[in-house]
Structure 1
Amino acid sequence: MRPSALLRLALAGTRTDTVRVLLTAFSAALAALAAFAALTVLAIPTPPATADNMVRWSEQYSNALLREPGLRGGTAFALVLLMVPVLALAGQCARLGAPARDRRLAALRLAGATPGQVTRLAMLETGVAGLFGTLCGLALYLVGRELLHRPDERGQLALPTDVLPHAGALAAVVVGLPLVAGLATALMLRRVITTPLGVTRRAARERGPGPWAGVLIVVGVAAFILGWPVLLRRTVDGPFVGLALFLIAAGGLAAILGTVTGTGWISHTTGRLLRRYARHPAPLLAAGRLMSDPWAGSRAFAALLAAVTFGAGAAGLRSHFVTEDRLARQQNRLAGVEAGANPFYLNTISLVDLAVTVAVLIAAAGLLVAVVEGVVARRRAYAALTATGVPRTTLAWSLVWQAVLPAVPAILLALTVGAVLARALFGDADRGPSTTSVCDAGAQLCADPATREQYTRITESPAVHAVPDVPLEQLALLGGGALAAVLATVLVGLLFLRPSTAVEELRAT
């Protein structure tokens, strides 16, 4: 098959295919913008140290996250993490209208296409949509860079609009994201056989998933807790430091991965309990769906649970900083000074909370696409149930049961894992003994070096220790917001239920 014909077939399709391509391109554009922002932060040059100025700060920025070199890596890492829910949204968008696309691919096989050509066609369809999205993202980035370049009255910038990453790095993002999307499509199709009679899978799951995700969470949290004290010891040799870093990174990743994949076991177990104890049609329908495809919840909730886990960790970090600020105020009161700790860290956590909120909203958009895709994909089954006398309200309530019941324990699990990881990472709040110089005279006498010493006294503050409180209020707000996002997406998805239950859908091909 010639490349021109392959490209023409990849861009062909119905209105559903057009919507899928546009949504995939939109997700790719968001992911590219996050990657461009991270590259821009990393491209900020660090000025050399001089005899007059030993602090190597970039004073042209008003934000300390950009001004201080030691904070730019964490800022870039946070921007990269925003790509996780965006890529999950792209994965959900790529599944939109999957039955119709499967029938189109089967028709191509009937016309003489080989299985490899069909796979390359699906890869090209996703890759072209991703390339269109990354090019649009690059254009938006370059235009926004010019529009947002507004120095304040002191000549400082709020954003690094004076820095442009290397052209090779930008090209790598523009080309790399569509390439990764195409390879991911091929990976997902490895167990799929496209025949002239339809699309089937090589192997079907005969039994529900086991509780292995719980073991992964326990092992991950244990490795995280064991690695952190080793890293804090200054007398540890280099190899042990590398081992501790590996335990921390691998443990945290394993705990988050276990939280996401544990939704499959939660969905299957919830379906079994509903089938055993439910007495009404709606929960029984939801039980059958949860047991038949328990991994659907894991796919749909993946980005949302990852965002909730990071949000719970940020809430634990905020509680730690609040406790340290309280201890600093306590020490300063003993010294006769009314002041607290540096508010920079609390302000930074506010930015992290904003990023988590954006991630939850993006994950909710992906969940909405998953709900709509599920309704549209099963429209013939819903139409058959409606034709046999099942009310549409019963089908609607079954969708609500199917989405909410696995979401509640999954969100609680994500909140717990995030809070435990934050507690293990930061531990208790401690401040050692400190000495403070206090001037008891007026401002004029204290400002004069000749008279300041005779009015100055040295005060000593003892060491203080406190255990940070569990941020129940923040965790409840985060969990409630995530559950509200799930309910909102389900309610919006129910708008597609009425047209999908029309009797005419029984004749859909």
Structure 2
Amino acid sequence: MRPATLLRLAVAGTRTDTARVALTALSATLATLAGLAAAAVLTIPTPVCCGGRNLSEQYSNALLREPGLRGGTALALLLLTVPVLALAGQCARLGAPARDRRLAALRLAGATPGQVTRIAVLETGVASLLGTLVGLGAYLSGRELLDRPDARGRLALPTDVLPPVGVLAALVVGLPLLAALVSAVLLRGVSATPFGVVRRGVRERAPGPWAGLLIVSGLAAFASFNPLLNWYQDRHRTPPVLLPPLLLLGGGLAALVGVVIGTGWLSYTAGRLLHRYGRGPAALLASRRLTTDPWAGSRTFAALLAAVVVGAGAAGMRAMMLAQVEVHRHTGAVNDSDGFYLRTMDLVDLAVGVAMAIAAGGLVVALVEGIVARRRAYAALVATGVPRGAIGRSIAWQALAPAVPAVGVALAVGYFLSRGVAGGPVRGGGAMVQVCDAGEQLCADPATRAQHVRFEWVPELTVFPDVPLGQLAWVGAGALAAVLVTVGVGLVFLRSSTAVEELRTT
């Protein structure tokens, strides 16, 4: 089959296929923008000045001005790509039954299994390439439009730097290649035949609670971070360069994967409990669905749970910073950096909110696709006398039964990760400090400061960070609200998908 024919067959299809390609391209655009923004932050040159000042004074934002904060800023931007890529995975399943029938028709027309697989992979790659090109164009255009210095000549964004051409090419070409590779791997268990699409190797064994080992290992890695660094410091030794990032990145990834995979076990357990104690057809229908496909929760809630873990971790870090501010206020060492770090946490909370909104979009796509894919079974239930309200309640049970405990676990894991890396209580005081009794102008002048300075003993103070129950409750409530909104949107499609005519759907 010639490449032009492959390309034409890959982009052909119905309006549903067009919507799938458009949503996949949109996800690739958002991921490209986040990646290019992170690359621009890392590309900012660090000047070497006398007196040890190596700040990039051309920026008004301290996150860009201080070299030590750029790595964390870039990492936060890259974390935003996690829910975006999860959204792309959900969008790739949109219209899957119709695409399966189209692939089966190609097999019936004489296409080989390899050609059919290449068509499906090329569809994802072309859509992602279109999205990355649009993202590159939007980044270059925004770079010109937002290059507006303030009255002091400082920039709010790094519009004066451009990532190297190799980085631009790697993002624009690498993301579509990665998407195509992931599609090829996922299609390994799928066989397109002239009679339909058959999925091989269906998981029949119930999920085990072994995902808890990943969570425990991640928490242990974060808890051992400060003790290990203190051990090296007490012996006047330098820790290995890769040890801190390995503990933080490896531990965080292990805990996050454990939370996502553990949702499968929670779904299966919730299904068994509903089957044993549930009353009414809605609970029984949901229980059978949860036990039959418990891994659907892990696939559907992955991005949302990742956002919840990050949001709970940010809440724990904010509580630690507030404890430090209280100690600084007690010792008279309050400075502008305290307010700066708290404002930085506001940006992190905003990023978590954006990630939840993107994850909610993925939930909507997944739930609507599930309703449409099972419309023949739902239509059969309605034809046999099951009320549509019972089916709607069963869909709500399927979404909320695993989501509620999974969000609770994600909140606990994110909070304990932050407490593990932040350490224990904050201590300060227990020393003599200088106190200037004059005004700000006299205290700032070295010539007059000495005349107004006195020494005062500050008693030692130990502050235990509060458990941010309020902020954790808001993060959890936001996640569950996203699930409820998703269920509401999905129920809109239920009536059209349960019409008796759907029994003739092939």
If the length of structure 1 is used for normalisation, what is the TM-score? Answer: 0.95
Does residue 388 in structure 1 map to residue 367 in structure 2? no
Using the alignment, how far apart are the partners of 1:309 and 1:383 within structure 2?
A: 38
- AA matched with 2:404: V
Please state how far the C-alpha of 1:503 moved relative to its aligned partner. 1.2
Post-superposition Cα deviations, 1:136-181, rounded to whole Å, max 9, x if no partner, equal: 1111111111111121111111111111111221111111101000
Change (3 A) 1:391 1:430: same
Question: Mean alpha-carbon deviation: is it higher for 483-492 or for 455-464?
Answer: 455-464
Within 1, Cα distance between the matches of 2:330 and 2:491? 54
Pairwise CA distance, 1:227: 3.8
Unpaired segments ≥5 residues, structure 2: none
Q: Could you say if the C-alpha distance between residues 322 and 127 of structure 1 is closer, same or farther in structure 2, counting changes exceeding 3 Å?
A: same
Render the CA deviation track for 1:302-343: whole Å, top value 9, x for unaligned: 0000110011000000000001101111122xxxx8878621
CA contact (8 A) 1:271 1:286 kept: yes
Structure-1 separation of matches of 2:327 and 2:487 = 45
Q: Matched residue of 2:493: which SS?
A: helix
Q: Measure, in 2, the Cα distance between the counterparts of 1:445 and 1:231.
A: 42
1:456 and 2:461 equivalent? Answer: no
- Provide the secondary structure at the position in 2 that maps to 1:328: helix
Greater Cα shift, 80-89 or 212-221: 212-221
Q: 1:156 pairs with 148, 154, 157, which one?
A: 154
Are 1:373 and 2:381 counterparts?
A: no
C-alpha change, 1:238 and 1:285, in structure 2 (3 Å) is same
Cα distance in 2 between the residues matched to 1:433 and 1:147 = 53
Q: CA deviation at 1:441?
A: 3.9
Q: What is aligned with 2:33?
A: 33
Supply the distance in 1 between the matched residues of 2:236 and 2:308 (Cα, whole angstroms): 34
Q: % of aligned pairs identical?
A: 65
Whether 1:346 and 2:346 are equivalent positions in the alignment is no
* 1:78-111 deviations in Å (ceiling 9; x for gaps): 0000000000000000001111111111111111
Residue 473, structure 1, aligned to residue 470, structure 2? yes
CA contact (8 A) 2:403 2:480 kept: yes
2: distance between equivalents of 1:457 and 1:137?
Answer: 60
1:43 is matched with 43
From the superposition, tell whether residues 108 and 322 of structure 1 become closer, same or farther in structure 2 (CA, over 3 Å). Answer: same
Q: In the alignment, what sits opposite 1:291?
A: 291
Aligned equivalent of 1:491: 488
Query: Structure 1 regions of 5+ residues with no counterpart?
Result: none
Partner in structure 1 of residue 87 of structure 2: 89
Name the structure 1 match of 2:328: 328
C-alpha distance 221-451 of structure 1, shift in aligned 2 (>3 A): closer
Compute the displacement of 1:291 (Å): 1.0
With 159-168 and 183-192 compared, the bigger mean Cα shift is at 159-168
Q: What does residue range 39-438 of structure 1 map to in structure 2 within 5 Å?
A: 39-50=39-50, 54-233=52-231, 234=233, 235=235, 237=237, 242-243=242-243, 245-332=245-332, 342-427=338-423, 428-431=425-428, 433=430, 435-438=432-435
Shift of the 101–338 alpha-carbon distance from structure 1 to 2, 3 Å rule, reads closer
User: d(CA) in 1 for partners of 2:442 and 2:66?
Assistant: 35
CA contact (8 A) 1:27 1:89 kept: yes
Structure 1 pair 206–154 and aligned structure 2 pair: CA distance change class (3 A): same
CA contact under 8 A between 2:61 and 2:156: conserved in structure 1? yes
SS at match of 2:355: helix
Distance 1:350 1:445 in 2: 35
Distance change >3 Å, CA 442–CA 252, structure 1 → 2: closer
Secondary structure of 1:457's match?
A: strand
CA separation of 1:354 and 1:376: change in aligned 2, threshold 3 A: same
- Per the normalisation by structure 2, the TM-score is 0.95
C-alpha separation between the residues in 1 aligned to 2:440 and 2:278?
Answer: 75
* CA distance in 2: counterparts of 1:274 and 1:226, whole angstroms: 39
Distance 1:444 1:218, change over 3 A: closer
For residues 45 and 197 of structure 1, what CA distance do their matches in structure 2 show?
Answer: 59
Letter in 2 for 1:424: G
Most deviating of 229-238 and 7-16: 229-238
Find the residue that maps to 2:434 and give its secondary structure. Answer: strand
Give the drift of 1:250: 2.1
> Is the 2:129–2:176 contact (alpha carbons within 8 Å) kept by the matching residues of 1?
yes
Please give the alpha-carbon distance, in whole angstroms, between the structure 1 residues aligned to 2:489 and 2:389: 15
Equivalenced residue count is 503
CA distance in 1, matches of 2:137, 2:260: 34
- What one-letter code is carried by the residue in structure 2 that aligns with 1:465? T
Q: Distance in 1 between matches of 2:336 and 2:431?
A: 14
Please state how far the C-alpha of 1:287 moved relative to its aligned partner.
0.8
Aligned-partner Cα distance in 2 for 1:453–1:97: 76
2:52 alignment partner, SS class: coil
**Separation (CA, whole Å) in 1 of partners of 2:445 and 2:249:** 52
Deviation, 1:112, is 1.5
Alpha carbons 1:329, 1:341 under 8 Å: kept: no
| Alignment partner, residue 16 of structure 1 | 16
> Is contact 1:396-1:497 (8 Å) kept?
yes
Contact 2:308–2:475 (Cα < 8 Å) also in 1: yes
The question of whether the paired residues in 2 share the 8 Å contact of 1:384 and 1:503 is answered with: yes
CA displacement at 1:447 relative to structure 2: 5.9
1:232, distance to aligned residue in structure 2 (A): 3.4
2:137 match: secondary structure:
helix
Work out whether residues 300 and 367 of structure 1, in 8 Å CA contact, stay in contact via their aligned partners in 2. yes
Give the secondary structure class of the aligned counterpart of 1:96: coil
Query: What is the deviation of 1:461?
Result: 2.7
How far 1:451 moved relative to its partner?
A: 4.4
Q: SS state of the match for residue 455, structure 2? A: strand
Instruction: Label 1:43 to 1:198 Cα distance change in 2 as closer, same or farther (>3 A).
Output: same
Post-superposition Cα deviations, 1:37-83, rounded to whole Å, max 9, x if no partner, equal: 00111111111213xx5311111111000000111011001000000
Paired with 2:67 and 2:100, the residues of 1 have a C-alpha distance of 50
CA distances 1:441-493 after superposition (whole Å, capped 9, x unpaired): 45665566554423321234344322111111000000001000110011011
Moved more, 340-349 or 136-145: 340-349
- Whether the aligned pair in 2 keeps the contact of 1:325 and 1:341 (CA below 8 Å) is no
1:57 partner SS: coil
Q: Which string of whole-angstrom CA distances, capped at 9 and with x for unpartnered residues, describes residues 257-289 of structure 1?
A: 100110101001101111111120111111111
| 1-structure distance, mates of 2:74, 2:445 | 45
RMSD in angstroms over aligned alpha carbons? 1.8
Secondary structure of the residue that 1:343 maps to in structure 2? helix
